[in-house]
Chain A
Amino acid sequence: AQSVTQLGSHVSVSEGALVLLRCNYSSSVPPYLFWYVQYPNQGLQLLLKYTTGATLVKGINGFEAEFKKSETSFHLTKPSAHMSDAAEYFCAVSLYNAGNMLTFGGGTRLMVKP
């Protein structure tokens, strides 16, 4: 069985500040990990994913995430927040690297202050 925990349902940062969204997972087998972004009244867009290989994964819009097996974490970061980053972010885990049958965390709403 798999599960995902996102620490902090709401995160607020100032424009230009570091963004750090936390994600911890549990999985009985090596997981595939994903971050999705959801803008208001929209569907989900894939930001990045970890399947195998390099543990630091770079995604779209300047985001990146690092897979740390020892900490069972996959935190999402961005060096400098932009107003357009305000959205809901979901961490997800799957047994398949295709993103099929995802188990999602509860989501973190990112607010960016001017």
Chain B
Amino acid sequence: NAGVMQNPRHLVRRRGQEARLRCSPMKGHSHVYWYRQLPEEGLKFMVYLQKENIIDESGMPKERFSAEFPKEGPSILRIQQVVRGDSAAYFCASSLGGDNTEAFFGQGTRLTVV
């Protein structure tokens, strides 16, 4: 029973390029959460999605960042025109949903912008 799968594990992008981070939730999970961990800092909530819906994006930067969780396939966090400050570890978590389930974390994608 596979856990939350994130790929790639490491991603290097030049300034101005696009970064696409993928998250496949645990089997049966329909709720996905993205967090960002900047160097030497804790995790910060970015966005909460259910299938085909964005539930809460209060933690998403207003520009260049977007997220989706389509009916089929993984959730995607997309960063356009990356800058050095986007270098961080991006973690995805998934849950069954509702108020009585636990969120499980993936191993993260480490983005480096050069």
A interface residues, Cβ below 8 angstroms from B:
4, 6, 36, 41-46, 49, 90, 96-107
Contacts and interface: CB of A to CB of B under 8 A. Distances in A.
B43 A46 contact: no
Interface string B70-109: 0000000000000000000001010100111111011110
29 contacts: A6-B42, A42-B107, A42-B108, A43-B91, A43-B105, A43-B106, A43-B108, A44-B93, A44-B105, A49-B102, A90-B43, A96-B99, A98-B98, A98-B102, A98-B103, A99-B93, A99-B103, A100-B31, A100-B95, A100-B103, A101-B33, A101-B56, A102-B33, A102-B35, A102-B43, A102-B103, A104-B44, A106-B42, A107-B42
Contacts of A102: 33, 35, 43, 45, 103
B63 interface: no
Contacts, number: 60
Given A44-B105, A98-B102, A104 B42 contact: yes
Nearest to A90: B42
- Counting chain B residues whose Cβ lies within 8 A of the other chain, the interface size class is 20 to 34
Contacts of B98: 98
Contacts of A104: 35, 42-44
A46 B103 CA distance: 9
B19 interface: no
A98 B48 contact: no
Interface of B: 4, 31, 33, 35, 41-45, 48, 56, 91, 93, 95, 98-103, 105-108, 110
A44 B31 contact: no
A105 B42 contact: yes
B95 A101 contact: no
Nearest to B47: A101
A30 B35 CA distance: 23
B45 A98 contact: no
A46 B99 contact: no
Contacts of A42: 107-108
A38 B25 CA distance: 19
A97 B100 contact: yes
Nearest to A49: B102
